[in-house]
Amino acid sequence: MTDTTLDQFRTETRAWLAENCPPEMREPVRSEKDAVWGGRDQSNLTPAQKSWMDAMASKGWTVPDWPKAYGGGGLTPAETKILREEMAAIRARNPLNSFGISMLGPALLKYGTEEQKLTHLTKIAKGEIRWCQGYSEPNAGSDLASLATSAESDGDDYIVNGQKVWTSYADKADWIFCLVRTDKTSKQGGISFLLFDMASPGVSTKPILLISGNSPFCETFFDNVRVPKANRVYEENKGWDVAKYLLGHEREMISGMGLASTGGNPLIDGAIATVGLDHDGKLADPLLRASIAMFEVRSNAFGMMSERFIDELKAGRAHPAQPSMMKYYGTELNKSRYELMMASGGSDALEWESDRSNGGSTPRAWLRTKANSIEGGTSEVQLNIIAKRILDLPSA
Protein backbone atom coordinates (compact mmCIF):
# COMPACT_ATOMS: atom_id res chain seq x y z
CA MET A 1 0.00 0.00 0.00
CA THR A 2 1.42 3.36 -0.96
CA ASP A 3 1.89 6.19 1.48
CA THR A 4 -0.63 8.39 -0.28
CA THR A 5 -3.38 5.79 0.03
CA LEU A 6 -2.54 5.46 3.72
CA ASP A 7 -2.58 9.23 4.14
CA GLN A 8 -5.99 9.30 2.52
CA PHE A 9 -7.17 6.50 4.82
CA ARG A 10 -5.97 8.52 7.79
CA THR A 11 -7.78 11.64 6.67
CA GLU A 12 -11.03 9.77 6.08
CA THR A 13 -10.74 7.88 9.35
CA ARG A 14 -10.14 11.08 11.28
CA ALA A 15 -13.20 12.70 9.75
CA TRP A 16 -15.38 9.64 10.35
CA LEU A 17 -14.31 9.36 13.99
CA ALA A 18 -14.89 13.08 14.56
CA GLU A 19 -18.42 12.62 13.26
CA ASN A 20 -19.29 9.32 14.93
CA CYS A 21 -17.56 9.23 18.30
CA PRO A 22 -19.88 10.85 20.87
CA PRO A 23 -18.18 13.28 23.30
CA GLU A 24 -19.06 11.02 26.27
CA MET A 25 -16.98 8.29 24.64
CA ARG A 26 -13.89 10.49 24.64
CA GLU A 27 -13.53 10.43 28.41
CA PRO A 28 -11.50 7.83 30.27
CA VAL A 29 -13.46 4.83 31.52
CA ARG A 30 -14.13 5.60 35.19
CA SER A 31 -15.25 2.25 36.50
CA GLU A 32 -16.00 -1.27 35.43
CA LYS A 33 -19.65 -0.29 34.81
CA ASP A 34 -18.45 2.25 32.27
CA ALA A 35 -17.03 -0.38 29.94
CA VAL A 36 -19.22 -1.86 27.22
CA TRP A 37 -19.32 -5.65 26.99
CA GLY A 38 -22.22 -6.22 24.56
CA GLY A 39 -24.51 -9.24 24.83
CA ARG A 40 -28.16 -10.15 24.36
CA ASP A 41 -29.24 -7.83 27.13
CA GLN A 42 -28.33 -4.28 26.15
CA SER A 43 -30.80 -2.52 28.42
CA ASN A 44 -28.06 -1.11 30.65
CA LEU A 45 -26.18 0.70 27.86
CA THR A 46 -26.34 4.50 27.68
CA PRO A 47 -27.36 5.99 24.29
CA ALA A 48 -23.77 7.16 23.71
CA GLN A 49 -22.33 3.73 24.48
CA LYS A 50 -24.84 2.06 22.18
CA SER A 51 -24.40 4.46 19.29
CA TRP A 52 -20.58 4.29 19.50
CA MET A 53 -20.57 0.49 19.56
CA ASP A 54 -23.05 0.26 16.69
CA ALA A 55 -21.26 2.86 14.57
CA MET A 56 -17.94 1.08 14.96
CA ALA A 57 -19.54 -2.31 14.32
CA SER A 58 -21.16 -1.02 11.13
CA LYS A 59 -17.66 -0.34 9.75
CA GLY A 60 -16.35 -3.64 11.11
CA TRP A 61 -14.03 -1.58 13.31
CA THR A 62 -14.74 -3.35 16.57
CA VAL A 63 -12.47 -5.97 14.96
CA PRO A 64 -10.71 -3.94 12.29
CA ASP A 65 -8.34 -6.64 11.08
CA TRP A 66 -10.84 -9.49 10.83
CA PRO A 67 -12.14 -10.40 7.34
CA LYS A 68 -15.24 -8.52 6.21
CA ALA A 69 -17.14 -11.78 5.71
CA TYR A 70 -17.09 -12.30 9.49
CA GLY A 71 -18.06 -8.79 10.49
CA GLY A 72 -14.56 -7.36 10.51
CA GLY A 73 -13.15 -4.29 8.80
CA GLY A 74 -10.78 -6.18 6.50
CA LEU A 75 -8.05 -3.63 7.26
CA THR A 76 -4.35 -4.21 6.66
CA PRO A 77 -1.95 -4.05 9.64
CA ALA A 78 -0.87 -0.56 8.58
CA GLU A 79 -4.48 0.65 8.38
CA THR A 80 -5.31 -0.95 11.74
CA LYS A 81 -2.40 0.89 13.32
CA ILE A 82 -3.63 4.18 11.83
CA LEU A 83 -7.13 3.57 13.15
CA ARG A 84 -5.76 2.94 16.66
CA GLU A 85 -3.59 6.06 16.47
CA GLU A 86 -6.51 8.19 15.36
CA MET A 87 -8.70 6.79 18.12
CA ALA A 88 -6.00 7.49 20.69
CA ALA A 89 -5.60 11.02 19.36
CA ILE A 90 -9.20 11.88 20.30
CA ARG A 91 -9.04 9.67 23.41
CA ALA A 92 -11.79 7.51 21.99
CA ARG A 93 -12.81 4.61 24.19
CA ASN A 94 -12.73 1.05 23.14
CA PRO A 95 -16.26 0.63 21.68
CA LEU A 96 -16.57 -2.94 22.90
CA ASN A 97 -14.65 -5.07 25.40
CA SER A 98 -15.16 -8.71 24.79
CA PHE A 99 -13.64 -12.10 25.44
CA GLY A 100 -15.18 -12.95 22.07
CA ILE A 101 -12.92 -10.42 20.37
CA SER A 102 -9.75 -10.90 22.35
CA MET A 103 -9.86 -14.62 22.99
CA LEU A 104 -12.42 -16.79 21.20
CA GLY A 105 -12.36 -14.88 17.90
CA PRO A 106 -8.71 -15.51 17.06
CA ALA A 107 -9.08 -19.19 18.02
CA LEU A 108 -12.16 -19.60 15.82
CA LEU A 109 -10.44 -17.85 12.92
CA LYS A 110 -7.67 -20.43 13.16
CA TYR A 111 -9.47 -23.61 14.22
CA GLY A 112 -13.20 -23.10 13.53
CA THR A 113 -15.18 -24.60 10.66
CA GLU A 114 -16.57 -22.19 8.09
CA GLU A 115 -20.00 -22.66 9.61
CA GLN A 116 -18.74 -21.93 13.14
CA LYS A 117 -17.02 -18.77 11.90
CA LEU A 118 -20.10 -17.53 10.09
CA THR A 119 -22.36 -18.31 13.06
CA HIS A 120 -20.29 -16.80 15.83
CA LEU A 121 -17.81 -14.22 14.56
CA THR A 122 -20.28 -11.70 13.18
CA LYS A 123 -22.25 -11.71 16.43
CA ILE A 124 -19.04 -11.13 18.37
CA ALA A 125 -18.10 -8.24 16.11
CA LYS A 126 -21.49 -6.60 16.56
CA GLY A 127 -21.49 -7.13 20.32
CA GLU A 128 -24.65 -9.27 20.15
CA ILE A 129 -23.39 -12.26 22.10
CA ARG A 130 -21.27 -12.04 25.20
CA TRP A 131 -18.87 -14.92 25.93
CA CYS A 132 -17.23 -16.30 29.04
CA GLN A 133 -14.29 -18.62 29.46
CA GLY A 134 -14.68 -22.00 31.15
CA TYR A 135 -11.13 -23.15 31.70
CA SER A 136 -10.22 -23.28 35.40
CA GLU A 137 -11.55 -25.81 37.85
CA PRO A 138 -11.12 -26.09 41.61
CA ASN A 139 -8.33 -28.63 41.13
CA ALA A 140 -6.99 -27.40 37.83
CA GLY A 141 -5.51 -23.90 38.00
CA SER A 142 -1.90 -23.54 36.96
CA ASP A 143 -2.00 -27.21 36.06
CA LEU A 144 -4.92 -26.60 33.74
CA ALA A 145 -4.51 -29.80 31.73
CA SER A 146 -5.53 -31.84 34.76
CA LEU A 147 -9.12 -30.63 34.35
CA ALA A 148 -11.91 -33.12 35.08
CA THR A 149 -15.21 -31.71 33.73
CA SER A 150 -16.42 -34.58 31.58
CA ALA A 151 -18.18 -34.75 28.23
CA GLU A 152 -19.64 -38.19 27.46
CA SER A 153 -20.62 -39.01 23.92
CA ASP A 154 -24.33 -39.57 23.37
CA GLY A 155 -25.17 -39.84 19.68
CA ASP A 156 -24.76 -36.42 18.07
CA ASP A 157 -24.36 -34.76 21.45
CA TYR A 158 -22.09 -34.63 24.47
CA ILE A 159 -23.41 -34.75 28.00
CA VAL A 160 -21.32 -32.37 30.11
CA ASN A 161 -20.90 -32.71 33.89
CA GLY A 162 -18.57 -30.94 36.31
CA GLN A 163 -17.60 -27.63 37.81
CA LYS A 164 -15.63 -24.61 36.64
CA VAL A 165 -14.35 -21.82 38.85
CA TRP A 166 -13.28 -18.21 38.40
CA THR A 167 -15.50 -17.94 35.33
CA SER A 168 -15.43 -14.17 34.84
CA TYR A 169 -18.90 -12.75 34.14
CA ALA A 170 -20.44 -16.22 33.82
CA ASP A 171 -23.64 -14.78 35.24
CA LYS A 172 -23.79 -12.11 32.53
CA ALA A 173 -22.49 -14.12 29.59
CA ASP A 174 -24.69 -15.62 26.86
CA TRP A 175 -22.34 -18.38 25.72
CA ILE A 176 -19.29 -20.16 27.13
CA PHE A 177 -16.18 -21.57 25.52
CA CYS A 178 -15.28 -24.49 27.65
CA LEU A 179 -12.60 -27.12 28.07
CA VAL A 180 -13.90 -30.60 28.80
CA ARG A 181 -12.43 -34.06 29.17
CA THR A 182 -13.36 -36.50 26.43
CA ASP A 183 -10.66 -39.07 27.23
CA LYS A 184 -9.51 -39.93 30.75
CA THR A 185 -6.48 -41.95 29.65
CA SER A 186 -4.49 -39.01 28.28
CA LYS A 187 -3.89 -35.72 30.16
CA GLN A 188 -3.38 -33.10 27.45
CA GLY A 189 -4.50 -35.42 24.66
CA GLY A 190 -7.94 -36.01 26.19
CA ILE A 191 -9.33 -32.49 26.19
CA SER A 192 -11.92 -31.05 23.81
CA PHE A 193 -13.04 -27.48 23.20
CA LEU A 194 -16.81 -26.88 23.30
CA LEU A 195 -19.08 -23.89 22.72
CA PHE A 196 -22.52 -23.74 24.30
CA ASP A 197 -25.33 -21.48 25.35
CA MET A 198 -25.33 -20.56 29.04
CA ALA A 199 -29.13 -20.80 28.88
CA SER A 200 -28.85 -24.56 28.24
CA PRO A 201 -30.65 -26.66 30.86
CA GLY A 202 -28.28 -27.82 33.59
CA VAL A 203 -26.00 -24.73 33.64
CA SER A 204 -25.95 -22.73 36.87
CA THR A 205 -23.65 -20.08 38.32
CA LYS A 206 -22.81 -18.73 41.73
CA PRO A 207 -20.88 -15.47 42.26
CA ILE A 208 -17.52 -15.24 44.06
CA LEU A 209 -16.91 -12.03 46.00
CA LEU A 210 -13.45 -10.56 45.48
CA ILE A 211 -11.32 -8.52 47.88
CA SER A 212 -12.22 -5.49 45.74
CA GLY A 213 -15.80 -5.90 46.84
CA ASN A 214 -16.83 -6.72 43.31
CA SER A 215 -18.20 -9.93 42.01
CA PRO A 216 -17.86 -10.46 38.30
CA PHE A 217 -16.52 -13.97 38.97
CA CYS A 218 -18.41 -17.17 39.35
CA GLU A 219 -18.40 -20.79 40.09
CA THR A 220 -20.15 -22.51 37.20
CA PHE A 221 -21.84 -25.88 37.47
CA PHE A 222 -22.80 -28.28 34.68
CA ASP A 223 -25.40 -30.91 35.45
CA ASN A 224 -26.05 -33.14 32.43
CA VAL A 225 -25.78 -30.28 29.96
CA ARG A 226 -26.50 -31.46 26.42
CA VAL A 227 -24.16 -29.94 23.78
CA PRO A 228 -24.33 -30.81 20.07
CA LYS A 229 -21.04 -32.25 18.75
CA ALA A 230 -21.25 -29.68 15.95
CA ASN A 231 -20.31 -27.14 18.64
CA ARG A 232 -16.91 -28.75 19.19
CA VAL A 233 -14.06 -26.62 17.82
CA TYR A 234 -11.35 -28.65 16.06
CA GLU A 235 -10.98 -32.39 16.56
CA GLU A 236 -12.08 -34.42 19.55
CA ASN A 237 -9.26 -34.73 22.11
CA LYS A 238 -7.30 -31.96 20.39
CA GLY A 239 -8.84 -29.09 22.32
CA TRP A 240 -5.56 -28.38 24.13
CA ASP A 241 -4.11 -26.95 20.91
CA VAL A 242 -7.03 -24.53 20.69
CA ALA A 243 -6.79 -23.76 24.40
CA LYS A 244 -3.10 -22.87 24.22
CA TYR A 245 -3.55 -20.73 21.14
CA LEU A 246 -6.34 -18.85 22.86
CA LEU A 247 -4.26 -18.42 26.02
CA GLY A 248 -1.61 -16.69 23.94
CA HIS A 249 -4.21 -14.11 22.92
CA GLU A 250 -5.55 -13.83 26.44
CA ARG A 251 -2.05 -13.07 27.72
CA GLU A 252 -1.59 -10.45 25.07
CA MET A 253 -4.84 -8.80 26.07
CA ILE A 254 -4.03 -8.83 29.79
CA SER A 255 -0.53 -7.46 29.16
CA GLY A 256 -2.02 -4.46 27.39
CA MET A 257 -4.43 -3.60 30.18
CA GLY A 258 -2.02 -1.30 31.94
CA LEU A 259 -1.59 0.79 28.82
CA ALA A 260 -4.62 3.02 29.08
CA SER A 261 -4.99 4.34 25.55
CA THR A 262 -7.46 7.01 26.53
CA GLY A 263 -4.85 9.73 27.01
CA GLY A 264 -3.97 11.79 30.06
CA ASN A 265 -2.01 10.20 32.86
CA PRO A 266 -4.17 9.59 35.93
CA LEU A 267 -1.12 8.72 38.01
CA ILE A 268 0.65 12.02 37.36
CA ASP A 269 -2.53 14.12 37.36
CA GLY A 270 -3.59 12.49 40.63
CA ALA A 271 -0.25 13.11 42.30
CA ILE A 272 -0.26 16.75 41.24
CA ALA A 273 -3.79 17.12 42.60
CA THR A 274 -2.94 15.70 46.03
CA VAL A 275 0.60 16.87 46.79
CA GLY A 276 0.86 19.83 44.42
CA LEU A 277 3.80 21.34 42.52
CA ASP A 278 6.53 23.40 44.18
CA HIS A 279 7.73 26.75 42.80
CA ASP A 280 10.03 24.93 40.34
CA GLY A 281 7.07 23.07 38.90
CA LYS A 282 8.14 19.79 40.51
CA LEU A 283 5.95 17.50 42.58
CA ALA A 284 6.17 18.75 46.14
CA ASP A 285 7.03 15.28 47.46
CA PRO A 286 10.48 14.51 46.02
CA LEU A 287 10.49 10.82 46.91
CA LEU A 288 7.05 10.26 45.44
CA ARG A 289 8.20 12.15 42.35
CA ALA A 290 11.25 9.91 42.07
CA SER A 291 9.19 6.75 42.43
CA ILE A 292 6.72 7.91 39.81
CA ALA A 293 9.47 8.99 37.42
CA MET A 294 11.26 5.65 37.71
CA PHE A 295 7.96 3.88 37.16
CA GLU A 296 7.32 6.05 34.09
CA VAL A 297 10.68 5.01 32.63
CA ARG A 298 9.62 1.37 32.72
CA SER A 299 6.09 2.07 31.71
CA ASN A 300 7.13 4.13 28.67
CA ALA A 301 9.68 1.52 27.69
CA PHE A 302 7.06 -1.19 28.06
CA GLY A 303 4.74 0.84 25.81
CA MET A 304 7.50 0.75 23.20
CA MET A 305 7.92 -2.98 23.76
CA SER A 306 4.18 -3.43 23.16
CA GLU A 307 4.42 -1.53 19.93
CA ARG A 308 7.35 -3.66 18.87
CA PHE A 309 5.55 -6.84 19.86
CA ILE A 310 2.49 -5.94 17.77
CA ASP A 311 4.71 -5.03 14.80
CA GLU A 312 6.56 -8.33 15.14
CA LEU A 313 3.36 -10.34 15.50
CA LYS A 314 1.94 -8.80 12.35
CA ALA A 315 5.11 -9.57 10.46
CA GLY A 316 5.11 -13.13 11.82
CA ARG A 317 8.45 -12.52 13.55
CA ALA A 318 7.49 -12.77 17.23
CA HIS A 319 8.70 -15.74 19.25
CA PRO A 320 5.61 -17.88 19.97
CA ALA A 321 6.27 -17.66 23.73
CA GLN A 322 6.71 -13.88 23.69
CA PRO A 323 3.12 -13.27 24.94
CA SER A 324 4.28 -14.81 28.22
CA MET A 325 6.94 -12.15 28.59
CA MET A 326 4.44 -9.42 27.73
CA LYS A 327 1.91 -10.81 30.18
CA TYR A 328 4.46 -11.13 32.96
CA TYR A 329 5.97 -7.68 32.54
CA GLY A 330 2.74 -5.84 31.78
CA THR A 331 0.85 -7.21 34.77
CA GLU A 332 3.64 -6.70 37.28
CA LEU A 333 4.00 -3.16 35.97
CA ASN A 334 0.27 -2.52 36.25
CA LYS A 335 0.33 -3.66 39.86
CA SER A 336 3.11 -1.21 40.65
CA ARG A 337 1.17 1.56 38.86
CA TYR A 338 -1.72 1.02 41.25
CA GLU A 339 0.53 0.88 44.28
CA LEU A 340 1.71 4.35 43.24
CA MET A 341 -1.87 5.49 42.55
CA MET A 342 -2.72 4.58 46.13
CA ALA A 343 0.41 6.21 47.51
CA SER A 344 -0.18 9.44 45.63
CA GLY A 345 -3.90 9.47 46.41
CA GLY A 346 -3.25 9.38 50.14
CA SER A 347 -6.37 9.30 52.26
CA ASP A 348 -8.54 10.34 49.30
CA ALA A 349 -7.65 7.04 47.69
CA LEU A 350 -8.86 5.14 50.74
CA GLU A 351 -12.53 6.19 50.43
CA TRP A 352 -14.50 3.12 49.52
CA GLU A 353 -18.04 4.32 48.90
CA SER A 354 -18.15 8.09 48.54
CA ASP A 355 -19.36 9.91 45.45
CA ARG A 356 -16.15 11.91 45.38
CA SER A 357 -14.20 8.70 44.98
CA ASN A 358 -16.65 7.42 42.40
CA GLY A 359 -17.54 4.55 44.67
CA GLY A 360 -13.95 3.84 45.63
CA SER A 361 -12.90 3.27 42.03
CA THR A 362 -9.18 3.66 42.75
CA PRO A 363 -8.87 1.33 45.76
CA ARG A 364 -11.12 -1.22 44.09
CA ALA A 365 -9.06 -1.09 40.91
CA TRP A 366 -5.88 -1.34 42.99
CA LEU A 367 -7.15 -4.53 44.61
CA ARG A 368 -8.40 -5.86 41.30
CA THR A 369 -4.94 -5.48 39.69
CA LYS A 370 -3.57 -8.01 42.14
CA ALA A 371 -5.32 -10.65 40.06
CA ASN A 372 -3.55 -9.54 36.87
CA SER A 373 -0.56 -11.65 37.76
CA ILE A 374 -2.81 -14.64 38.57
CA GLU A 375 -5.52 -14.77 35.90
CA GLY A 376 -4.62 -16.17 32.50
CA GLY A 377 -1.67 -18.01 34.06
CA THR A 378 0.31 -16.73 37.03
CA SER A 379 3.55 -14.76 36.77
CA GLU A 380 5.41 -17.84 37.99
CA VAL A 381 3.94 -19.90 35.19
CA GLN A 382 4.91 -17.22 32.62
CA LEU A 383 8.48 -17.21 33.97
CA ASN A 384 8.57 -21.00 33.62
CA ILE A 385 7.54 -20.65 29.98
CA ILE A 386 10.12 -17.94 29.23
CA ALA A 387 12.87 -19.97 30.90
CA LYS A 388 12.06 -23.15 29.03
CA ARG A 389 10.79 -22.00 25.66
CA ILE A 390 12.76 -18.82 25.04
CA LEU A 391 15.94 -19.26 27.09
CA ASP A 392 15.91 -23.01 26.51
CA LEU A 393 16.89 -23.80 30.11
CA PRO A 394 16.76 -27.48 31.05
CA SER A 395 13.87 -29.16 32.88
CA ALA A 396 14.43 -30.37 36.42
Partner 1 sequence: MPLYLNDEQTMLRDTAKDFVAEHAPVSHLRSLRDKKDEAGFSRDLWKSFAEMGFTGILIGEDEGGLGLGHVEAGIVLEEIGRNLSPSPFLTTAVAAVEALKGSPHAAKYFPGILSGDTVAALAIDEGAKHRDTVALKAERSGNGFKLSGKKQFVTHGHVADLLIVAARTAGSADDAEGITLFAVDRNAAGLTANPERLTDSSLAARIEFDGVEVDADAVIGEIDAGRTPLDRLLRAGRTGASAELLGVGGGAMDMTVGYLKERKQFGVTIGSFQALQHRAAHLYSEMEVARAAVLKAAQLLDQGSDRADHAVSVAKAMTALATTLSVQEGVQMHGGIGMTDEYDIGFYMKRARVLAEMFGDANFHAHKLATLSGY
CA-CA distance, 280 to 347, in Å (whole number)?
A: 26
Q: CB-wise, 233 or 318, nearer to partner 1? A: 318
Residue 367 found at the interface with partner 1 (CB under 8 A): no
Least separation in angstroms between residue 263's CB and partner 1 is 13
Q: Sign of the CA dihedral 268, 274, 280, 282?
A: negative
Q: CB-wise, 69 or 290, nearer to partner 1? A: 290
Residue nearest to ligand FAD (CB): 141
Q: CB-wise, 257 or 293, nearer to ligand FAD? A: 257
DSSP 26: G
What's phi and psi for 296, nearest 5 deg? -65, -30
Say whether 236 is catalytic.
no
Least separation in angstroms between residue 265's CB and partner 1 is 7
Site residues (CB under 6 A) for ligand FAD, limited to 130-159: 133-136, 141-142
Whether residue 62 contacts residue 53, with contact meaning beta carbons closer than 8 Å, is answered with yes
Dihedral over alpha carbons 216, 220, 225, 227 (to 10 degrees)? 50
Least separation in angstroms between residue 371's CB and ligand FAD is 3
Least separation in angstroms between residue 136's CB and partner 1 is 22
Query: What's the gap between Cα 23 and its chain centre?
Result: 24
* Beta strand residue intervals within 266-377, DSSP E: none
Whether residue 64 contacts residue 82, with contact meaning beta carbons closer than 8 Å, is answered with no
Beta partners for residue 133, in sequence order? 177
Residue 287 found at the interface with partner 1 (CB under 8 A): no
- Quickly count: other Cβ atoms within 10 Å of residue 86's Cβ: 21
Residues 6+ apart with CB under 8 A from 67: 74
Q: Which of 97, 102, 167, 192 binds ligand FAD (CB under 6 A)?
A: 167
CA-CA distance, 334 to 341, in Å (whole number)?
A: 10
| Contact pattern for partner 1 over residues 293 through 312, marking x by CB under 8 A | xx-xxx-xxx-xx-xx--xx
Whether residue 82 contacts residue 9, with contact meaning beta carbons closer than 8 Å, is answered with yes
Q: Which of 41, 44, 282, 350 binds partner 1 (CB under 8 A)?
A: 282
Residue 166 found at the interface with ligand FAD (CB under 6 A): yes
Q: CB-wise, 112 or 134, nearer to ligand FAD? A: 134
DSSP 267: H
Catalytic residue, chosen from 79, 250, 252, 332, is 250
By the criterion CB under 6 A, which residues form the site for ligand FAD?
133-136, 141-142, 166-168, 217, 371, 374-378, 380-381, 384
Catalytic residues: 250
By the criterion CB under 8 A, which residues form the site for partner 1?
265, 268, 271-272, 277, 281-283, 289-290, 292-294, 296-298, 300-302, 304-305, 307-308, 311-312, 314-315, 317, 325, 328-329, 380, 382-384, 386-388, 390-396
